Amino acid sequence: MGPGPVNADPRVLRAMSAQLVGQFDPWMTATMNETMALYREVFRTANDATLLIDGTSRAGIEAALVSLLEPGDRVLVPVLGRFGHLLREIAERCGADVHVIETPWGTVFDEEQLADAVRRVRPKVLATVQGDTSTTMCQPLSQIGAVCRELGVLTYVDVTASLAGNAFAMDDWQLDVATAGLQKCLGGPSGSAPISLSDAAVDVVNGRRHVEAGIRESGDDDRGERIRSNYLDLAMILDYWGPRRLNHHTEATTMLYGARECARLLVEEGMDAAVERHRLHGSAMTAGVRALGLVLFGDQAHTMNNVVAVEIPDGVDGDAARAQMLTDFGIEIGTSFGPLHGRVWRIGTMGWNARRDAVLTTLAALEQVLRAAGTSPAPRAGVAAAQEVYA
């Protein structure tokens, strides 16, 4: 019940024990195409270029940034927590000219602030997170895409922590690139990063296309500045997932099976229903922890549905309490990074854990641990408050 990675949906794990087939087997390429179609629904996009990066969510972020940003390109990064710092750090390593705006941890930017910064900096790319798990904040992003399109600025959004647990509409919001991971609301293990790119983003990436020696054919002329990474070169990865099926990496088939199953389950449920499920169980958890006397952290008007942060009560050893939750009840909850390390606990309700029994069991255990640590929550208050939300 931490902020992710979380335990996976058993149906996803079962799909991952299926036997492998060759990477150019007709069934395999059909399965890759099916997975692309499923993730279009998950991202709510018609983007043809919707596929998987073989690595963790961080690999997806780096694939997007290293493929879009040439050395010297200007990028604007709004930082609302640790994962904004990560975008900055990756963009710096790409050699980009990185401009940062910051908001205190526990708050988000007003979209008008973002628009002002975009107009001032005039970046090639605006790169931001939607949900920053380090603070639990969910950055509003429904308006900024249109502003950026008007100015010819590409938008990149890291939706790893938020996708499927919070509203996200790539095309309606006019966003160009989004990357995710399986290990949060998608209910799978880390290790595959779904990504989607608009046609405009694909044009930028393909403007830097350099086909590998040894598989290059006539007409495969080098274009533009070579992308600094081979493994995360989206131009090459698009050729691998596209009709040419140009050999690149060896697709991580078991992760593909997992990613496909995550998306199948979500599409079967419906994306709106999945968001509503996260809202319901997140609300129940939030009501429960508040009723246990814990103080919520951050701007509650802008939290993600799938994770709540609470301040660790004075006099309570936060790490010892977390250890007791794990050892005595088999339940993991998290602390956070940087300025929030040891100051807050983060409790997730995401993916397979966005379930009534998971929420109520966690609250029952937390009441025990808080009482053992010397605080005095009203008996049964947490569970009762959550049950009221369910009622």
The reply to whether 151 sits near a copy of itself by the rule CB under 8 A is: no
In contact, 119 and 151? CB cutoff 8 Å: yes
The reply to whether 213 sits near a copy of itself by the rule CB under 8 A is: yes
**Looking at residue 4, what DSSP letter applies?**
S
The reply to whether 44 sits near a copy of itself by the rule CB under 8 A is: no
The reply to whether 215 sits near a copy of itself by the rule CB under 8 A is: yes
**Looking at residue 293, what DSSP letter applies?**
T
The residue count for binding a copy of itself (CB under 8 A) is 68
The reply to whether 259 sits near a copy of itself by the rule CB under 8 A is: no
As a residue count, the chain comes to 391
The reply to whether 278 sits near a copy of itself by the rule CB under 8 A is: no
* Rg, Å, the chain Cα set: 21
The reply to whether 226 sits near a copy of itself by the rule CB under 8 A is: yes
**Cα 157 from chain centroid?**
9
- Known binding residue 40? Answer is no
The reply to whether 191 sits near a copy of itself by the rule CB under 8 A is: yes
Helices (H), the chain: 10-15, 26-43, 57-68, 82-93, 111-121, 144-151, 199-206, 234-241, 253-269, 271-291, 318-329, 356-372, 381-390
The reply to whether 54 sits near a copy of itself by the rule CB under 8 A is: yes
The reply to whether 368 sits near a copy of itself by the rule CB under 8 A is: no
Helices and strands, counts by H and E, the chain = 13, 11
Q: In angstroms, give the least distance from the CB of 19 to a copy of itself.
A: 6
- The one segment of 123-131, 211-219, 276-284, 302-310 that binds a copy of itself by CB under 8 A: 211-219
The reply to whether 181 sits near a copy of itself by the rule CB under 8 A is: yes
Kindly tell me which of 40 and 184 has the beta carbon lying closer to a copy of itself: 184
User: Which residues, listed in sequence order, are joined to residue 181 by a DSSP beta bridge?
Assistant: none
Kindly tell me which of 45 and 253 has the beta carbon lying closer to a copy of itself: 253
Distance CA 284, CA 280 (A): 6
Burial class of residue 102 in the structure, from the number of CB atoms within 10 Å of its CB (0-12 exposed, 13-18 middle, 19+ buried)? middle
Kindly tell me which of 224 and 293 has the beta carbon lying closer to a copy of itself: 224
Kindly tell me which of 109 and 352 has the beta carbon lying closer to a copy of itself: 352
- Nearest CA to 88 out of 123, 37, 120, 53 is that of 123
What is the contact mask toward a copy of itself in residues 91 to 110, using x (rule: CB under 8 A)?
-xxxx---------------
The reply to whether 20 sits near a copy of itself by the rule CB under 8 A is: yes
The reply to whether 37 sits near a copy of itself by the rule CB under 8 A is: no
Q: In angstroms, give the least distance from the CB of 35 to a copy of itself.
A: 15
Q: In angstroms, give the least distance from the CB of 3 to a copy of itself.
A: 10
Quick one: residue 379, left, alpha or beta (phi over 0 = left, psi -120 to 50 = alpha)? beta
Q: Residue 2 in 3-state DSSP?
A: coil
Query: 249-259 b/e with 16+ CB inside 10 Å = b?
Result: eebbbbbbbbb
The reply to whether 249 sits near a copy of itself by the rule CB under 8 A is: yes
The reply to whether 183 sits near a copy of itself by the rule CB under 8 A is: yes
What's the one-letter identity of residue 122?
A: R
Binding site members: 346
Binding site members for substrate: 346
Residues forming the site for a copy of itself (CB under 8 A): 2, 4-8, 10, 13-14, 16-23, 25, 54-59, 61-62, 66, 82, 85-86, 88-90, 92-95, 134, 181, 183, 189-191, 212-215, 226-232, 247-255, 258, 326, 332, 337-338
